[in-house]
Every structure is written in C-alpha cells, then in structure tokens.
Amino acid sequence: MNNTIFDFIGGTTGDWKIIKSTTLIGESLPKVTHVDKIQSSLINRFEGIWSLKGVISNLRYTEKAEKDKLTAKQEDLGRKKATYAAFIPIRKNEAWWNLAQDERRQIMEKQSRHTHHGMQYLPAIARQLFHSRDIDEPFDFLTWFEFAPEDEPAFNELLSKLRQSEEWEFVDREIDIRMVRV
Amino acid sequence: MNNTIFDFIGGTTGDWKIIKSTTLIGESLPKVTHVDKIQSSLINRFEGIWSLKGVISNLRYTEKAEKDKLTAKQEDLGRKKATYAAFIPIRKNEAWWNLAQDERRQIMEKQSRHTHHGMQYLPAIARQLFHSRDIDEPFDFLTWFEFAPEDEPAFNELLSKLRQSEEWEFVDREIDIRMVRV
C-alpha cells in the first residue's frame, strides 16, 4: 500500500454514485453505476467492471509563481460540502508526447492558459491529478474534481474553456463521469 | 510485457559482468557480480539478489533546440564496439521534488548545464534514462550508459562535471556500477 498510487474502480457499489457519464472522444468505458477511489499499489486488483490506476507525482509544468498562487488558493479533496465529483480520464496523442518540454508548456500555458483558467475557479473546485501514462494504463491522466452542487455551473464553464483550447486538440480520449457522494 | 518498462537485475549471472561498484552517497546495494537488463512489466519478478525497475518516459526538461541537437548527435544502446557500460541509480531529496518545474529546469540547465555537458560527449557515450520515482521504487532514476573502452576517461570526465554541479547537491543516493559485456 502506497499513499501516492490510487485505483479508481467502476462497478455496482462504491462511495460515489454516477449521475451522468459522457464520452467526449475515443472509446467509452463499460457502463457502471458507482465509482470507488482507493489507495492502492502497482498490483492489479481485478475488482469492479473497470479499474484505472494513477499516481500522484511531482509538478511537471507549474512554475514557481503559479505554484505559490495555487498553494495559497486551493483546497483539499474531502470537504464535507463538496458532495459532487467529476472523474475525467484523458489520453493525449503521440504528437503531444513527442513535443519537447518547452513546446508542451507553451501550448498549455502561453496559448491555452490551463493554469490561469483553473486558478479562477479556486477554491470552489478542488482537484487532484493522477499520472497513468508511464504505468501501462489506457489513459495518460486521471483527473478528479470535488465541488458543492451550486458550483457545478462554474465547473462546466471551466471545462468548456479548457476543451476549446489548443491543448485539447491533442486529446484523443476523454470520458467525463459525474458523481454524487453516497 | 511492455517495451518501456525494464528490470535491472543484480545477481550471479547476466549479460554484463561487474568490474567495479562504488557507492557515492546513501545506502549501498547488496554485492553482486553481474547485471541483466531486461524488458519487463510492473509486476515484481523477485529474481537475482536485487532488482530495480524503471520506465522510459517522455522528456521532462529538454527544450526543442536541445532535443533537435541531441537527436542529431546521439546513438542508440547496443552498439557492437560499446562493450563497457555504467549503471547509475540516483535518488534526489525532497527539496528537489518540492521545487516547481521552472526552478528545477533553472538548476539543471542554466546553473548546472546538464544537457550542455552531456552533449559534448555524444555520440561516444550512448545513454538511456529510466524513471522510477512514481512506481514505488527506492531510486528516482536509473541511468544506463554504453561506450567503447577507449571512451571511459571521457565518461569519467562527464560524471565529474555533473557531480560538481549544483544539481548534484540534491542527490542523496547514488551508486556507480561499471560493467563489461559478457
């Protein structure tokens, strides 16, 4: 057991009940009613109907000034009032991964303003990024967001901005799963 | 089996026979006579006397201009004349990992000139970086170098430059294992 490796298990029971699931691009996941998010290890658990694994890692693009602002403004997962969650697994194409670090940063921030947009919705939207690309998983990232029901429109606005960005032209698989805490 | 995940197995048999092993900082590894480098998976193999796992990933710091120069100059592992190899597992401390991306890049390149120094020894020194930090391993990186016996002094010179750099002040475990192809 490790405190940076998590399994997201889709099945018929779990802490989060699915309200809506939308496949935006690429292959869907099998239909399930619940998602569980649990601390795990690199070993496959073969639970549920599908299971996705992700690892909390160091910051890959965030610069010092942004990191300080984020740290000051963001809140942790698990807030009592944040009864809504979104689980959005994402894969980017080979063209993205073949770019050098400065090219990816340029697209993410200078052009697409990913961190800038995200910052506008703090502290209402709490989020955590999990990396999956290097551990032989079908997605590159698993993103998890938690917010109060009244902040759902703001969250949708944030997603809309990101999905219109140049960065999102590199996304070739994305599923948006919305849940309520059981 | 996956073509980006590798196991480095220290034991009493293997493709590479150890000539010399030096622990520069931090805990040593148990003494072995040979190292095998094999394509693997995330599953632990429990072979040999020690076993270290690493993943080939995307470039994390290299910028476009550097990438183009590296691609033009570097050679692959497995050259017939490159009968010498070095396996150098490295761990960096928490202070390093808590830095933002631009701070780490600043130290690596602007101050320590990591890529610049490495470039001077291409194509003689072929190398591959394997990431271990996010997969619950004792080291953060496993580095593997191959060169002809006559290029060993040049390789030692490169290591000496890197080990004197500011970047290396963050290294808290490093073992330098030199080998000859069996």
The 10s digit of each residue's pLDDT in B8-41 is 999 999 999 999 999 999 999 999 999 999 999 8
Q: How far is A135 from chain B (nearest CA, A)?
A: 7
How far, in Å, CA of B150 to CA of B82, rounded? 10
Q: Which residues contact A9 (CB under 8 A, 6 or more apart)?
A: A35, A36, A37, A38, A45, A47, A48, A50, A51
Q: How far is A112 from chain B (nearest CA, A)?
A: 18
* Cβ atoms of residues A128 and A144 within 8 Å: yes
pLDDT (0 to 100) of residue B43: 83
- Nearest CA to B151 among B79, B67, B49, B57? B79
Q: Which CATH architecture has domain B5-181?
A: 2-Layer Sandwich (3.30)
The answer, as to whether pTM is greater than 0.90, is yes
Query: String of b and e for B95-129 (b: at least 16 CB within 10 Å)?
Result: ebeebbbbebbebbbeebbbbebbeebeebbbbbe
Between B109 and A56, whose confidence is greater? Answer: A56
How far, in Å, CA of A106 to CA of A119, rounded? 18
Between B111 and B178, whose confidence is greater? Answer: B178
Cβ distance of A101 and B135 shorter than 8 Å = no
Structure tokens at B144: 């593997």
Between B40 and B172, whose confidence is greater? Answer: B172
pLDDT tens-digit profile, chain A (182 residues)? 578 999 999 999 999 999 999 999 999 999 999 999 999 988 877 789 999 999 999 999 999 999 999 999 999 999 999 999 999 999 999 999 999 999 999 999 888 899 999 999 999 999 999 999 999 999 999 999 999 999 999 999 999 999 999 999 999 999 999 999 99
pLDDT (0 to 100) of residue A2: 72
Set of chain B residues whose Cβ sits within 8 Å of the Cβ of A105: 101
Residue of B nearest to A43 (CA): B43
pLDDT tens sequence across B62-94: 999 999 999 999 999 999 999 999 999 999 999
Closest by Cβ to B2, choosing from A4, A64, A136: A136
Q: What's the distance, Cα to Cα, between the start and end of chain A in Å?
A: 25
Our CA dihedral for B164, B167, B170, B173, rounded to 10 degrees, sits at -60
How far, in Å, CA of A59 to CA of A114, rounded? 14
User: How many Å separate Cα A114 from the centre of its chain?
Assistant: 13
Residue B40 amino acid letter: S
pLDDT tens sequence across B128-154: 999 999 999 999 999 999 999 999 999
Cβ distance of B60 and A5 shorter than 8 Å = no
pLDDT (0 to 100) of residue A1: 57
Q: How many other C-beta atoms lie within 10 A of the C-beta of residue B20?
A: 9
pLDDT (0 to 100) of residue A68: 95
Q: How far is B53 from chain A (nearest CA, A)?
A: 11
Residue B137 amino acid letter: E
pLDDT (0 to 100) of residue A39: 93
Structure tokens at A118: 């995200």
pLDDT (0 to 100) of residue A168: 97
Our CA dihedral for B132, B137, B140, B145, rounded to 10 degrees, sits at -60
pLDDT (0 to 100) of residue A94: 96
* Cβ atoms of residues A17 and A60 within 8 Å: no
pLDDT (0 to 100) of residue B106: 94
pLDDT (0 to 100) of residue B41: 87
To the nearest whole number, what is the mean pLDDT of chain B? 95
**Which of the four pLDDT bands, split at 50, 70 and 90, describes residue B1?**
low
Q: For the residues of B83-98, what is the DSSP string, one character each?
A: -EEEEEEEEE-HHHHT
Set of chain B residues whose Cβ sits within 8 Å of the Cβ of A4: 134, 136
